[in-house]
Amino acid sequence: MFEHRFDRNAGPRVIFHWYILSFTGGCINAGGFLATGRFVSHVTGFATLFGTTAVQVDFGHALGILSVPLFFLTGAFVAGMLIERPIYRGKRPRFDWVMGMSALSLLAAAFGGEFESFGNFGESVRLRPAYILLALLCFACGLQNGAISSSSGKTVRTTHLTGMTTDLGLGIAKLMTISRTDEGFLPELRANRLRGGSIAVFIVGSAAGAWLFKTVEYRGFFVPALLSAYAALLGAKAKTNFQASA
């Protein structure tokens, strides 16, 4: 899952693992929306909410909304410090630490919900009771997205679709422009298949997450937590392989 770059022609097993985390991203986003009325795996919605709330002269609420995506940024920053920075310095990347922290954040969301720390599931769309939950989910998504973006050579994003859809559109245009004999044709074709597959799996994860969270409410976060923990185990193996090949 983590030791490959996409330009090294990642095999089916690696791509399957990337799809697992696209599923996880869709599931988290569905759970966050059903619990709080906000999409948590991308920054766009919070920027829009800040603008619409500020216009209503509710600046305290607006600033609270604006601060939430900083946790996504923090997660991506931590992933960079634990993955990109060590690789740049010729040291072992800590994929397992990154995905382990993501799993712990999701477990905290599940247990916090069970102990009624965030209010009743889906009944309140006010920011204050849901703030910690939103912070945990955004932090987890930033960690996950940073890890997979790094390991795939910036080809895969698993927690939101805007960039992926843009890349897919550009990739399709490129395939329609260059010759099939061009050396860049097959890599671009593989990348587009991966992008399209990731989008489809994210949608499936969102649908499955919607059913899951409507059924078991906050306990639904245990599922993406377990998938993230599985990714952390794979990350530990990747760390060992990196060390052996360094």
* Centroid of chain to Cα 204: 15
Length of the chain: 246
pLDDT in tens, 14-25: 888 889 999 999
In the chain, what are the domain boundaries?
Answer: 11-245
Q: Is the dihedral of CA 188, 190, 193, 196 positive or negative?
A: negative
Topology annotation, domain 11-245: Growth Hormone; Chain: A; (1.20.1250)
How far apart (Å, rounded) are the C-alpha atoms in residues 210 and 194? 24
Least confident of 100-109, 150-159, 220-229: 150-159
Q: Is the dihedral of CA 178, 181, 184, 190 positive or negative?
A: positive
Q: Mean of the pLDDT values across residues 139-155?
A: 84
The model's pTM is 0.85
Considering only CA atoms, which of 120, 151, 121, 122 is closest in space to residue 241? 151
Mean pLDDT in the chain?
Answer: 84
Residue with structure tokens 């993230």? 228
At 244, the pLDDT band (50, 70, 90 cuts) reads very low
Cβ-contact 133, 174 below 8 angstroms: no
